[in-house]
Amino acid sequence: MTRIVAGSKKAALALPWLLAAVSALHGELPKPTESQVQAAYLYNFGNFIQWPANTALGSSVSFTICILGEDPFGSSLNAAVADRAVGGRAVVAKHIMNAAEAPSCQILFISSSEDTRLNKILQALNRAAVLTVSDMPAFSDQGGMVQFILKGNRVRFEVDLAAARKAGLTLSSELLKLAARVKGNSAAGGQ
Amino acid sequence: MLVSSVALLLACSALLAYDVYTFRLGILDNLSTESQIIGSNSVSALLFSDSHAAESTLSALRASRHIRYAQIYTPDRRPFAGYWRDGKVQAQALPAIPPGQTQVHRFEGNGVALASSILFQGKPVGFVYLLSDLQSLNERLKGYTVIATAVLLVSLIAALLISRMCQRVISTPVIRLAEAARAISREKDYSIRVPAPADHDELSTLVVAFNEMLDQIQQRDTALLRAHDELEQRVQDRTTQLAAANRELEAFSYSVAHDLRAPLRSIDGFSQALLEDCVDKLDSDGKDYLHRVRAATQRMSVLIDDLLNLSRLTRSEMHKETLDLSALAKSVANELQKGAPGRSVDFAIEENLSANGDSRLLRVVMENLLGNAWKYTARHSHSRIEFGRSQDAKGRPVCFVRDDGAGFDPRHATRLFGAFQRLHSTSEFPGTGVGLATVQRIVRRHGGDIWAEAEVEKGATFFFTLSE
């Protein structure tokens, strides 16, 4: 009996390595991490949102994605935006420490480390044409435009259309139809 | 019939093939459009990994009844979202798209598959794969086959009817014409005519012209026969005339000779009487004169006999048989030798020469030719007379009699065979000059010819041929 139990324990330990080995043999890529997915989404948002013409973007030669606060992405955001363009502009990833720099960005990801300073940050932005994204809970309730949520192991997002409109941003229906929840829309959207 | 149906079949098949080809291209084109629409609508779903959204996009394909299966793949070729028209089955593997192309299609079994990559801002964000059945194509093919068969049958029947009609109007009269022509050629009956068809078209013109031509031929034929008969009649008349003329001539020459003989006999008789009875009253001159008169009358008698012979010979019947010329020549030579045994003459007579002719007449020929040779070599102490056969320039057999005697001047050769023509005076060589004329007549009656070559004092050769 003990020998069988000991054997099964060893098998249980070995299992994950086996699975990894099997999946490696099958040639499957390792599943992306949550941060990687979020980084990809951040870049892709740029293709489905229209920024108003008479803003910082108009005179800029680059499309800037900024990260405010603790950087959860590491190299994944840089990898996601390398050699990419949005509307003909080269995409650049920037890490800022101060909300004052925020208006020069097109997309601002607010790290969950800044959850206490959220109100001040949002006020600093005050109708600047910046898309605010975060994964901190109840972000959209507090005035954020796009909130990352995890739904059944998949990264989804909720959209506050009213907040986006206030900033002068137009979100494509392609984006909205993929959102888990759309708030601030007269026509009911999402689930 | 066979030709027209084959032609029709080929035409229909060609059209069908072309139609199928263009229709397939059309199906492919539609499929390509659908895949592009699906693709562009699935971009955001792919970018944001929302397979549910992609599936709802794909479910719109239910409106395209021909699409059996559709699948969207992630950039690493993993199935992302699928649509099955007839109940969910396993997801299929994406076929490889060759580099440099964004699409690849394949017609397989009962469907057509199209795989294309979805591009967003120039970069591939996934793949879409559509599988469509060829129901519409099959239905079209079926419909086309039915229509083509119907059209084929109808046109074949029409062709059959028209060809029957044409046969009646065109082929039958032409065949009748040909048969009539053949019958006429075979039986040489120029009274045959072809009945002309009632209507006044090109065929009746042909038949009428044919009949007219036959009229002409018949007329010519009749004229020909008449001319032939006329000629026959004329020939007969001439022959009768000629025979009559001949008989007259014979009677004339016979009576002439006969009548000429009587006074001759008188002259000769009375001259002889003078010589015998009045010998003492005559001096030597007188006797000499009388001798001369007698010699002359005798010569004239011989002349008359020769003339009679000549005329008789040309009219007498010929009995042709195969005879031995060598024996004949030898017999004649013997007689000549017997007549003058003192003479030294060599006869070189070729052996076994045979000929086909009248023996009596040919004997006369040999007597004359050999006799002449004997006569004209009399002046030489020793002579040689040859008789043989050789070949002329064309290789035909020619007989010859050669002597080495007095010969003659070849310039006068044309006179040789004229009656009474002599190339030597009587004092040199006796003779009446009828011999060669006789020989020529006989040789010509045998269908041959005679000619001579000679040199003065070097001898003469007489060549003759008998029938060809």
CB pair distance less than 8 Å for B45 and A178 = yes
Q: Which CATH architecture has domain B319-464?
A: 2-Layer Sandwich (3.30)
Q: What is the pLDDT of residue A28?
A: 52
How far A49 CA sits from the closest chain B CA (Å)?
12
Query: Is the pLDDT reported for residue A18 higher than 80?
Result: no
Q: What is the pLDDT of residue B127?
A: 92
User: What is the enclosing helix (H) or strand (E) of B115?
Assistant: strand B111-120
Q: What is the ipTM of this complex?
A: 0.71
Query: What residue ranges do the domains of chain B occupy?
Result: 2-142, 319-464
Nearest to B294 by CA among B276, B320, B321: B276
Quote the CA–CA distance of B118 and B113 in Å, as a whole number: 16
Nearest to A179 by CA among A142, A148, A144, A137: A148
| DSSP string computed for B186-200 | HH--TT--PPPPSS-
Residue of chain A whose Cα is closest to the Cα of B77: A28
Mean pLDDT value across residues A8-24: 55
Nearest to A87 by CA among A114, A57, A111, A115: A57
Taking the Cβ of residue A155 and every Cβ of chain B, the question of whether any pair is shorter than 8 Å is answered with yes
Nearest to B152 by CA among B3, B1, B2, B12: B12
- Farthest CA pair distance, chain B: 189
pLDDT tens digits, A40-57: 899 899 999 998 877 766
**Residues in chain A, how many?**
191
CB pair distance less than 8 Å for A40 and B76 = no
Chains A–B, number of C-beta pairs less than 8 Å apart: 29
CB pair distance less than 8 Å for B44 and A177 = yes
Tens-digit pLDDT string for chain B (468 aa): 788 778 888 988 898 899 889 988 998 999 999 999 999 999 999 988 888 889 999 998 888 888 989 999 998 888 899 999 888 777 778 888 877 778 888 888 788 999 999 988 888 889 999 999 888 888 888 888 898 889 888 888 888 898 888 887 778 878 888 988 898 888 888 888 888 777 778 888 888 888 899 899 989 999 999 999 999 999 999 999 988 887 888 788 778 877 888 898 899 899 889 888 888 888 888 888 888 988 889 888 888 887 777 777 766 777 888 999 999 999 999 999 888 888 888 999 999 888 888 888 888 899 999 998 998 888 888 889 999 999 888 888 899 999 998 888 888 888 888 766 677 776 677 776 678 888 888 898 888 899 999 988 889 999 999 875
Half-sphere exposure of A9 (CA within 13 A, CB side): 6
pLDDT tens digits, A132-162: 999 888 888 888 899 999 888 888 999 999 9
Give the right CATH number for A34-183 from 3.40.50.2300, 3.30.70.20, 3.30.200.210, 3.90.1150.10.
Answer: 3.40.50.2300
Taking the Cβ of residue A149 and every Cβ of chain B, the question of whether any pair is shorter than 8 Å is answered with no
Interface with B, mutate which of A31, A41, A44, A91 (most B CBs under 10 A): A44
Tokens describing residue B157: 């029947």
> Which residue among A44, A155, A178 sits closest to B53, beta carbon to beta carbon?
A178
Residue A135 burial (CB count, 10 A): 21
Query: What residue ranges do the domains of chain A occupy?
Result: 1-30, 34-183
> Which residue among B50, B76, B120 sits closest to A178, beta carbon to beta carbon?
B50
Query: Is the pLDDT reported for residue A4 higher than 70?
Result: no
**Residues in chain B, how many?**
468
Q: What is the pLDDT of residue A191?
A: 40
How far A175 CA sits from the closest chain B CA (Å)?
7
Per CB-CB distance under 8 Å, the chain A contacts of B53 are 177-178
pLDDT tens digits, A85-95: 888 888 999 89
Q: Which chain B residues touch A if contact means CB-CB below 8 Å?
A: 43-45, 47-50, 53, 76, 78, 120-121
Mean pLDDT value across residues A111-123: 86
Using only the alpha carbons of chain A, give its radius of gyration: 20
pLDDT tier for residue A16 given thresholds of 50, 70 and 90: low
Strands across the sheet with B397-403, in order? B344-349, B382-391, B397-403, B459-464, B450-455
pTM score over 0.80: no
CB pair distance less than 8 Å for B49 and A155 = yes
- Fold observed for domain B2-142: Beta-Lactamase (3.30.450)
How far A92 CA sits from the closest chain B CA (Å)?
17
CB A69 within 8 A of CB A110: yes
> Which residue among A29, A44, A156 sits closest to B47, beta carbon to beta carbon?
A44
How far B113 CA sits from the closest chain A CA (Å)?
26
CB pair distance less than 8 Å for B49 and A37 = yes
Q: Identify which of A24-38, A177-191, B384-398 has the greatest average pLDDT.
A: B384-398
Taking the Cβ of residue A126 and every Cβ of chain B, the question of whether any pair is shorter than 8 Å is answered with no
B2-142 and B319-464, same CATH topology = no
Query: Is the pLDDT reported for residue A190 higher than 50?
Result: no
Burial of B143 (0-12, 13-18, 19+ CB in 10 A): exposed
Per CB-CB distance under 8 Å, the chain A contacts of B43 are 174
Residue of chain B whose Cα is closest to the Cα of A37: B48
User: What is the enclosing helix (H) or strand (E) of B396?
Assistant: none
How far B45 CA sits from the closest chain A CA (Å)?
7
Nearest to B114 by CA among B124, B125, B105, B102: B105
Tokens describing residue B179: 């048969």
Residue of chain A whose Cα is closest to the Cα of B120: A47
Residue of chain A whose Cα is closest to the Cα of B123: A84
